[in-house]
Amino acid sequence: MLEQNLFAGFGGQGMLLIGQFLAQAGMMEGKYVSWLPSYGPEMRGGTANCSVCVSDSPIASPVITKASCVIAMNRPSLDKFESFVRPGDTLIVNSSLVDVKAKRDDINVYYVPANEIAEKIGNMKVANVIILGAFLELTKCVSVDTVLEAIALKLGKKKANLVDINKQALVAGAEAVTAK
Amino acid sequence: MAQILMKGNEAIAEAAIRAGCRFFFGYPITPQTEVPEYMSARMPEIGGCYLQAESEVAAINMVYGAAGSGVRVMTSSSSPGVSLKQEGISYIAASELPCVVINVMRGGPGLGSIQASQGDYFQATKGGGHGDYHLIVLAPSSVQEAIDLMGTAFDLADKYRNPAMILADGIIGQMMEPVELPEMKEYKVDPEKKPWAATGWKPGDKKQRAVINSLYITTEELTELNERLQARYAEIEKNEARWETYNMDGAEFVIAAYGTVSRICKAAIDELKQEGINVGLVRPITLWPFPKQAVRDAVMADGVKACLTVELNAGQMVEDVRLAVNGAKPVEFFGHAGSLMPTAEEVKEQIKRMREE
């Protein structure tokens, strides 16, 4: 198993962060992982993405040109990375911010209104974790429980009160791609 | 010890501290700024010294001064900043002092880009500054290896009284991977082992004053220094070449690559293997001393038709590969200058093209 994931969005949408949650969780499950951010002209409001590999065997290249799953949190990310998805694999689009449909018909595309769901839950900041919930439901890359552990570790004791809303976000994201 | 997820730059900094480094002088530059950032927080915690110098030139000369006292000291920069440090590095090499310099390479020439590159291979391995000298150059291909090589770099620098360089690239610096850190090591300057160290002298002290110097005004004295250095480099070349080979059994072709690019080549090799094409990899870990014999042995192995050197530059290490093979088999080059990372698909295409020729 080699999962090559690409999470992309605006700087500030937390794509690098959910990539770290996934990498941390993969490591906690005893898998090989790598997390590679885009860096450079990126800034808050600009585009930001990260490549996260999760594998049962040592990861040859952390650099991704073909992805088993792409998350596009905004329109520029969809335009740039739709072509990265391998035929038959998965593309998750944040339909709250992306008002067009994906062009390809040889991949599985899921539309998740992450910002609207976040608003319903009551915290706009968890839109990224909602999309991560959808990702985990679709790919089963790592278990939701391990991701929660990874989130709790990152939040630390001071922000432990935020674990619960992140859990809600993961569940809501999963529901968004199962309730059809 | 349990694995933790760590960014390359931060891992390099922590590994240096655990190898006994207590002095850091640097200046920020992307993509290595997390090294000084981490050091600025960590050094005060352990009673070390972190100083952001006014320039790269100042930073390397502070390293020169600290190295003269025998302590474990390092600096870190990226390509344009390392160019600025070259004068100081030459002085340190001439003064026969140990230190570690990190270069997290970015695109060049000039200010170039801030994306990963391997454009500084010539600079790192062939001198860089003026005069006949060499650095010991270590090239990690993963975050864990960067950690492991930090300890090696300090040990080799001390052993040979010679500056060592970790030659990484922007991807190694920015990437997070699971790592295990070594135990913390306290380093004390041992006057028996480092009698040359200028640790302070006052009248009445028996030992001779230690003088750190790189100026030898008579040709006789300068020749003596150079002969001493060359003898040492020969010793390093004999003892310290490090490399890794991969998938060499029954290989039709051998790829030579180092650092991040070697990982992309591994991905290409794995995919080619599934298509029934066997390609081996020889990955120099020390770029200087260059593992000549190992590269030659890999390329000269029975059944190997030719070598493909892949680099993230316009073709630099390929010259050393060609010297090692010395015309006995074809050595081709593939790469991009300007930070455009070669892809596994491109490497596969090259191998397939070579197969048809």
Domain harbouring B101, CATH code: 3.40.50.970
Residues of A within 8 A of B28 (CB-CB) are: none
Q: How many CB pairs under 8 A join A and B?
A: 60
- Asked whether residue B228 is assigned to any structural domain, the reply reads no
Which residues of chain B are within 8 Å of residue A36 when distances are taken between CB atoms?
Answer: 171, 174-176
User: Which pLDDT does position A179 carry in this prediction?
Assistant: 64
Distances (CA, A) of B98 to A171, B24, B50, B93, B197: 56, 14, 18, 8, 11
Q: Is residue B86, in this structure, part of any structural domain at all?
A: yes
Same domain, yes or no: B11 and B130: yes
Contact A107, A42 (CB under 8 A): no
Q: Are residues B150 and B256 in the same domain?
A: no
Indicate whether B174 and B258 sit together in one domain. Answer: no
- Confidence band (pLDDT; 50, 70, 90) for A39? confident
Residue B221 lies in a domain: no
The CATH number of the domain holding residue A8 is 3.40.920.10
Query: Which residues have C-beta within 8 Å of that of residue B202, sequence separation ≥ 6?
Result: none
User: Is A33 in contact with B174 (Cβ distance < 8 A)?
Assistant: no
Task: Tell me whether B344 touches chain A (CB under 8 Å).
Answer: yes
Chain B residue with minimal CA distance to A26? B178
* CA quadruple B283, B285, B289, B293: dihedral sign: negative
Asked if pLDDT for residue B121 goes beyond 90, the answer is: yes
Asked if residue B266 lies in contact with residue B178, where contact means CB atoms within 8 angstroms, the answer is: no
Give contacts of B 140-179 with A, CB under 8 A.
170-171, 174-178
Provide the number of structural domains found in chain A. 1
In chain B, at which residue ranges do the beta strands (DSSP E only) sit? 4-7, 23-26, 49-52, 73-77, 100-105, 136-138, 164-169, 176-179, 243-246, 253-256, 279-284, 286-288, 306-311, 331-335
Residues of the domain holding B59: 4-179
Contact B267 A60 (CB under 8 A): yes
Cβ contacts of A32 on chain B, cutoff 8 Å = 178
Q: So what's the pLDDT on residue B204?
A: 81
Choose one of B144, B179, B214: the last residue of a domain: B179
The reply to whether residue B344 touches residue A33, judged by beta carbons under 8 angstroms, is no
Residues of A in contact with B176 (CB under 8 A): 20, 23, 34-36
Residue-level pLDDT at B257? 98
Per-residue pLDDT band for B191 (boundaries 50, 70, 90) equals confident
Coil vs helix vs strand at B75: strand
Mean predicted lDDT score pLDDT of chain B: 96
Count of C-beta atoms within a 10 Å radius of residue B194: 18
Residues B32, B173 share a domain = yes
Full residue range of the structural domain in which residue A164 is found: 2-178
* Least CB–CB distance from A61: residue in B113, B178, B264: B264
Number of independent structural domains in chain B:
2
Judged by CB atoms closer than 8 Å, whether chains meet at B270 and A34 is answered as no
Share of chain A above pLDDT 90, in %: 91
Residue B115 in contact with partner chain A when CB distance is under 8 A: yes
Is B259 found in the same domain as B166? no
The distance of B106 to chain A (nearest Cα, Å) reads 11
Mean pLDDT confidence for B160-166: 98
Residue of chain A whose Cα is closest to the Cα of B30: A40
Residue A108 has pLDDT above 60, yes or no: yes
- pLDDT tens for each residue of B196-243: 999 888 888 877 789 999 999 999 999 999 999 999 999 999 999 999
Would B192 be classed as within a structural domain? no
- Among residues A96, A74, A176, which one has the least CA distance to residue A134? A176
What DSSP assignment string belongs to B290-317? --HHHHHHHHHSTT--EEEEEESSSSSH
Asked, for residue B20, whether it belongs to a domain, the answer is yes
pLDDT recorded at residue A44: 63
Query: Please, which pLDDT band fits residue B37 given cuts at 50, 70 and 90?
Result: very high
The confidence score (pLDDT) of residue A55 equals 97
